[in-house]
Amino acid sequence: MILSTRANFRLLRRRRIKDRIMTGVIMLLSLIAIIPLFMIFYHIVVNGISAINFDFFTQLPVPLGEIGGGMGNCILGSIILISIASLGAVPIGVFGGVYLSEYKHERTASLFRWVVDLMMSMPSIVIGLFVYTSIVVPSKSFSAVAGGIALGLLMLPIVAKTTEEVLKLTPLHVREAGLALGLSRWRVILFIVLRGRKSAVITGIVLALGRIAGETAPLLVTAFGNRNWPTSLMQPTPSLPVQIYNYAISPYENWHKQAWAGALTLVVLIFFINIFTRVVFTRNDLGRNTQ
């Protein structure tokens, strides 16, 4: 019997060509996916680098018309806001993650997990709006506290979720080995399970910090902004992302430069956080630390 008639052969060739073409299309589309990343990096560096200097990090914005100035107050404001957020979100998030991983069968835990999942998928502006209606409107003032709480509510579910995931990786027999020594359960959980995964938990926290460092929308409606140094936690507080926004939509050349420089600072910070966490995670995955 002859298998490859002329028609068969032609069909096969057509299928092969189609295979090549489609593979090419997929590669091309995938390439398109990452082009914006390189373009954004390129433009941020080219436009931002010229305004980056010592003053940028230490000085106040200058009045309109003057050249120079900096975003020192915004950087300080961002640090204050993120600190307030971490103060609440880190302990509650870590212990919440412990609860989710170590007492997963409790009914409260399932409800808690559900809430954490919902908070994760909520648009950040909705969180901002919540803090706006519940704190800003009643207190009649934008404030660092309001902004910090909004960021904290964004950070909390991320920390809780990563902590849960990380602790779940600890095998059951490690917990049993601790219990078999006659240690009470809470000591086993805190001093063996949590301590043994310390670096991974910290990595999760740092990753969450990287996520909220660039948040703008919730801050716009809670901390608002300020052209001076932050003096009180109850006052409108400047932040790097909000200032980038304000400068970007302004019509002034000098402010645009400042916006690019701010974006460069922010992106470099976030990029380093991502690289750092990746390195730590890979080391943990491959190394002996996995137990």
Among 79, 122, 233, 268, binds another protein (CB under 8 A): 122
Cα–Cα distances in angstroms (integers) from residue 45 to residues 75, 80, 220, in the given order? 19, 26, 25
Q: What is d(CA 263, CA 4) in angstroms, rounded to the nearest whole number? A: 62
By CB under 8 A, tell whether 96 contacts another protein.
yes
CB nearer another protein, residue 10 or residue 173:
173
Is 73 or 170 the residue whose CB approaches another protein more closely? 170
Q: Is 285 in the site for another protein (CB under 8 A)?
A: no
Total residues contacting another protein by CB under 8 A comes to: 108
Instruction: Give the integer Cα–Cα distance in Å for 68 and 87.
Output: 34
Only one of the segments 62-70, 74-82, 104-112, 227-235 lies at the binding site for another protein (rule: CB under 8 A); that segment is 104-112
Distance CA 215, CA 88 (A): 17
Contacts of 233 (CB under 8 A, 6+ apart): 80, 84, 143, 144, 145
Please give the DSSP secondary-structure letter assigned to residue 53: S
196-235 positions binding another protein, by CB under 8 A: 196-198, 210-211, 213-217, 220-221, 224
CB closer to another protein out of 117 and 285: 117
Closest CB 4 distance from another protein, rounded Å: 13
Residues in 139-198 that interact with another protein by CB under 8 A: 142, 153, 156, 171, 173-189, 191-192, 195-198
DSSP state, 128? H
Contacting residue, 32, 64, 67, 286, with another protein by CB under 8 A:
32
DSSP 89: H
Q: How far apart are CA 263 and CA 276, in angstroms?
A: 20
In the list 52, 90, 241, 254, the residue contacting another protein (rule: CB under 8 A) is 241
Q: Please, which residues have CB within 8 angstroms of residue 234's CB and are 6 or more apart in sequence?
A: 139, 141, 143, 144, 145
Q: Rounded to an integer, what is the distance from CA 238 to the centroid of its chain?
A: 19
Binding residue for another protein, selected from 66, 121, 253, 286, defined by CB under 8 A: 121
Applying the rule CB under 8 A, the residues between 50 and 89 that interact with another protein are: none
Which residue from 45, 47, 55, 169 is in contact with another protein, where contact means CB under 8 A?
47
Residue 48 parent element (H or E): helix 6-48
- C-alpha to C-alpha distance for 210 and 230, rounded to whole angstroms: 22
**Beta carbon nearer to another protein, 57 or 130:** 130
Nearer to another protein, 73 or 124 (CB): 124
Residue closer to another protein, measured from CB, 44 or 76: 44
